[in-house]
């Protein structure tokens, strides 16, 4: 419906979905190939999720 209003904010020019998808693939392949690749994939996945989640967070400027 046209009167539903704004459904949410979607980032139009974000690069974070690419490393997120690649890290998921790496972790999945790690389950097949070896535990060392799973650890690398999960580490990259954590970094990607944090980067994707905090992409538009602005750091607060504190005047201490």
Domain boundaries, the chain: 15-53
25-39: pLDDT as tens digits: 999 999 999 999 999
Note the pLDDT of residue 56.
80
Q: With 70 as the cut, is the pLDDT of residue 63 above it? A: no
Phi, psi (rounded to 5 degrees) for 35: -65, -30
Using CB atoms within 10 A of its CB, is residue 41 exposed (0-12), middle (13-18) or buried (19+)?
Answer: buried
pLDDT category of residue 12 using cuts at 50, 70 and 90: confident
* Percent of residues, the chain, with pLDDT higher than 90: 55
Task: Tell me the angle at which helices 17-33 and 35-53 cross, rounded to the nearest 10 degrees.
Answer: 160
Q: With 70 as the cut, is the pLDDT of residue 64 above it? A: no
């Amino acid at each position: 419906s046209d009167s539903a209003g704004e459904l949410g904010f979607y980032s139009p020019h974000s690069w974070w979905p690419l490393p997120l998808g690649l890290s998921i693939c790496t972790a999945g392949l790690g389950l097949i190939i070896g535990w060392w690749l799973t650890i690398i994939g999960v580490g990259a996945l954590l970094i990607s999720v944090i980067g994707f989640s905090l992409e538009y967070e602005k750091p607060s400027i504190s005047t201490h």
